[in-house]
Chain A
Amino acid sequence: MEPIGYELGSGHLDATFMALADPTRRAILGRLARGEASVAELAAPFGMSQPAISKHLKVLERAGLVHQGRDAQRRPRRIEARPLEEATKWLEGYRKLWETTFQRLDALLGELQTDATHRRRTKRRKK
């Protein structure tokens, strides 16, 4: 695998999306969004061993989504919001472009259906 950089750019976003692709890692982020937690505190509710949780945390840390707190004993993990915001913004731009396009399609389909109704009515009147 290619090295994961911390610079802004698609390499960074790749790491973010790869980290987010796993349901356990999304759940860990969900837990950390409510406040910092140690590895032991994270492992308990997931019914996973601490090494298994640590592995997931490493992926999240490499993506810059999670940071280690200062407390040397507990080593609490903390969520980092910025990469998540970047990832959302990246996809949102694409979504908006297509949303504009689909809204045009909504309007066209509306017109086509009105036309069809109108034609049916006119036909009936002629009979």
Chain B
Amino acid sequence: MEYSGPKHKLEVTLPSEREIVMTRVLDAPARLVFDAFTKPELIRRWLLGPDGFSMSVCDVDLRVGGKFHYVWRKDDGGREFGINGTYREIAPLARIVHGENFDEPFYPGEAQVTTAFAEKGGATTVTMTMAFDTREIRDGAIESGMESGIVASYDRLERILQEG
């Protein structure tokens, strides 16, 4: 099949010095999208970053004050990395606020992540707002994502070329 790219484009903006905002439309009702963001058996199937990673730990205690812990492992036996955090606010099907940091933190404090779900005509717009303590930490987060992002896009390009 010819690769035509995703139907909905992910938008990434930097509305202030300390924030990253991502917006993406998903063709599914909020009920399913909310499940995909909160049920471990579903999270494991998509929240994987670049190709070649899988989740070795995916614990979710979905209540205010409850904790979550995700660990990713590279399939070829590479090193693991994880993030953990605490839920601050849960409005079912509408909004989740949590704090998060890496298991081996490279910055102090927590990032505050707000995930909002808005359903309209059977599609759901997800808006993730990540607020960091300083601009330097935010920029570091973008830079670390950038490296793996480039790897992922090359992998995908290779696949597209093979499909020819």
Please give the residue numbers on chain A whose beta carbons come within 8 Å of chain B beta carbons, in ascending order. 10, 13-14, 17-18, 90-110, 112-113
Number of interface residues of B (CB under 8 A): 40
Q: Could you say which of B9, B142, B152 contacts A91, with CB atoms under 8 Å apart? A: B142
B149 in the interface (beta carbon within 8 A): yes
Q: What A residues does B47 contact at CB under 8 A?
A: 101, 105
> A95–B142 Cα gap in the complex (Å)?
9
> A104–B45 Cα gap in the complex (Å)?
8
Please give the residue numbers on chain B whose beta carbons come within 8 Å of chain A beta carbons, in ascending order. 6-10, 12, 14, 17, 20, 22, 24, 26-28, 32-33, 35-36, 42, 45-51, 135-136, 139, 142-143, 145-150, 152-153, 156
> A14–B138 Cα gap in the complex (Å)?
11
With contacts A93-B146, A93-B147, A108-B45 known, is A99 near B26, CB below 8 A? no
With contacts A10-B139, A93-B145, A109-B27 known, is A99 near B45, CB below 8 A? no
With contacts A109-B33, A113-B32 known, is A94 near B153, CB below 8 A? no
Q: What B residues does A103 contact at CB under 8 A?
A: 6
Q: What B residues does A97 contact at CB under 8 A?
A: 49-50, 145-146, 148-149, 152
> A94–B14 Cα gap in the complex (Å)?
12
Closest A residue to B51 by CB, please name it.
Answer: A100
Task: Given contacts A95-B149, A112-B28, list 9 more A-B pairs with CB under 8 A.
Answer: A92-B149, A96-B150, A97-B152, A100-B149, A100-B153, A101-B47, A101-B48, A104-B46, A110-B28
